[in-house]
Structure 1
């Protein structure tokens, strides 16, 4: 689908503007907290998210933090040492969705369009003139990229980018890859695509403003104080992987997305941008061997049912969307239930289930009091 049509589809799917603000709860310097009394459903959530040591060894599920926000109020919060309420936790690939929100502010300022050639904002991409900004946002650049981690490190583009020959200038390393498909025709998850987005922002806002832009554009308006974002040796934010923040601060981004880009009376992200984030990539082909893989949107992950494919997380609403990271990091938004869930973790064997956690969260907190 052409990007112009995709953009119109996103605009058409834009949610209606919110109603009166008076009844809403927003976090100030701190969150309002009303922890729920422990019920059988909450105990079931505890048992899954924070199993005993023996059970954790058996299942491989290890949560560092779990936070549940309902309608702007904390209703559940628990941590496992050494992580605490004050710990800026590594988010891994949640960073991609965070940077998409940073880009959303630049998009709202008119600094780029989805149809722009990437080379307009990042000149090393002149070798790939047909790659558009929207392609990068859908992980559909067409580059011959290999996103393998522990299981195939010698063939991995991402391991080379983050840790060896590409770490000095990650966007340039990505740009040096050849094409493996026509841009926009194939989904292939790529941390390289995300880091080129990180480099593209630099020319949009200028070198001086770039260093502080995630803070001035997004974090400070949301009241986020804990954020740390690593940059590579070229000065580019590692948009793919290296943002850190507390669970409570990450939840602020979730609440922003749950309320369609609005923070109080300010429309911080354009509604059309949030709608694009939540629009499935038109040419996505599900992997039949991985039926529970979420569907890619605009640097966010979606629970939508596609033709021939059921919802990836069958026990929660189709409107659920998420930012996900390596080893079990998750920021989940359930709009109809007005729920935002943050999970930090150190899962290592792939046994953790997004659906199982969210099913238990919904059972415990999905009904409004």
Structure 2
């Protein structure tokens, strides 16, 4: 009897060791050190000039392996308690939230988007799946500082579209048939956020990100701004601490499962991580999936981050925000920054992280 009980407890111990989950706090592993870590820090945390905003300006770097904190560093004023602006990581966060709604049977990928957002009535062919692939066909210009006068996203966030961002996006004309061509669009993301409101109902909508996703993951300090119409700004304005964002990464790294609960259906995660068939590869650009970015070779082009495993995927945001997930390495990496000049390179950071964590 005691021999059988000892074996049972040993198996439980091995299982617990193999798969760590954060509770209120993240478990920690012995922190990495050595020349490779020094090289990583030299790259990520170079001396920063806050007056000129030049160079690589990392605010936070958090490395999780096997569900445990392996490395963590911040640059003032950001701390472990700071909900950081994620910019377009918000888009992947929305995709994760939509995965919960999908699992609840609230929509199908091939549903027409106007079923949930009637303002798209002049674009009846657009489906929710098209929006998730950034393939609505809407003539959207995702230009930032380099072309603000032509920018749809600047107008949406700051000028004539800011009160009702989804309505502003829906009013755009088409440049291509829905589902045939990729064009990155913050408008597509905010149309999805407006559709979610119809899916769950206006009474539940304001709390839905918290009750459906944040609370099950143990995320306590998230902020997600809404526009004047009450629609979440899913393109840009979610704020999370690095540790809280890492929980979303761990959820995705483990196929949508959190502890013993399948929070995201497996087929939803598979859609997120499937390259959009209409994408034409561009050098050094990550490949679009379902509102996530993939390190996949497509269309004869090499992987965009050649020093990272091909199963690497990411949520990416303006000015260097990044959530990287490497399932084969059991790694989740959060990097927040304030990069303004293009100095920061995804592949370089990932290469140095892998050199630092590998024996």
Q: TM-score of the superposition, structure 1-length normalised? A: 0.91
Q: Name the CA distance, whole Å, in 2 between partners of 1:142 and 1:327.
A: 26
Change (3 A) 1:21 1:35: closer
Q: Name the CA distance, whole Å, in 1 between partners of 2:50 and 2:84.
A: 24
Shift of 1:308: 1.8
CA RMSD of aligned residues (A): 1.7
Change (3 A) 1:37 1:112: closer
1:321 matched to 2:316? The reply is no
- Pair member with larger Rg: 2
- Partner residue in 1 for 2:110: 115
Q: Flag structure 2 segments of 5+ consecutive residues without an equivalent.
A: 1-13
Shift of 1:56: 11
- Partner residue in 2 for 1:357: 349
Correspondent of 1:141 among 133, 136, 145:
136
Q: Name the CA distance, whole Å, in 2 between partners of 1:58 and 1:321.
A: 28
Question: Does structure 2 conserve the Cα–Cα contact (< 8 Å) formed by 1:339 and 1:366?
Answer: no
Question: Does structure 2 conserve the Cα–Cα contact (< 8 Å) formed by 1:21 and 1:265?
Answer: no
Measured against aligned partners, the alpha-carbon deviations of 1:190-234 in whole angstroms (never above 9, x if no partner) come to 000000000000000000100000000000000000100000000
The residue matched to 1:127 in structure 2 has which SS?
Answer: coil
Shift of 1:28: 0.4
1:184 matched to 2:176? The reply is no
Measured against aligned partners, the alpha-carbon deviations of 1:222-276 in whole angstroms (never above 9, x if no partner) come to 0000100000000000000000010000000000000000000000001111111
Shift of 1:52: 2.2
Q: Flag structure 1 segments of 5+ consecutive residues without an equivalent.
A: 1-18
The residue matched to 2:121 in structure 1 has which SS?
Answer: helix
Q: Name the CA distance, whole Å, in 1 between partners of 2:209 and 2:93.
A: 9
Q: Which runs of 4+ in 1 moved over 4 A?
A: 19-22, 54-59
Q: Name the CA distance, whole Å, in 2 between partners of 1:365 and 1:217.
A: 33
Q: Name the CA distance, whole Å, in 2 between partners of 1:264 and 1:38.
A: 30
The residue matched to 2:18 in structure 1 has which SS?
Answer: coil
The residue matched to 1:362 in structure 2 has which SS?
Answer: helix
Shift of 1:33: 1.5
Shift of 1:286: 1.7
1:96 matched to 2:88? The reply is no
The residue matched to 1:250 in structure 2 has which SS?
Answer: helix
The residue matched to 1:92 in structure 2 has which SS?
Answer: coil
- Partner residue in 1 for 2:44: 49
Q: Name the CA distance, whole Å, in 2 between partners of 1:57 and 1:78.
A: 23
Change (3 A) 1:320 1:160: same
- Partner residue in 1 for 2:236: 241
Change (3 A) 1:68 1:56: farther
Correspondent of 1:341 among 323, 333, 344:
333
1:310 matched to 2:302? The reply is yes
Q: Name the CA distance, whole Å, in 1 between partners of 2:234 and 2:172.
A: 18
Shift of 1:366: 3.8
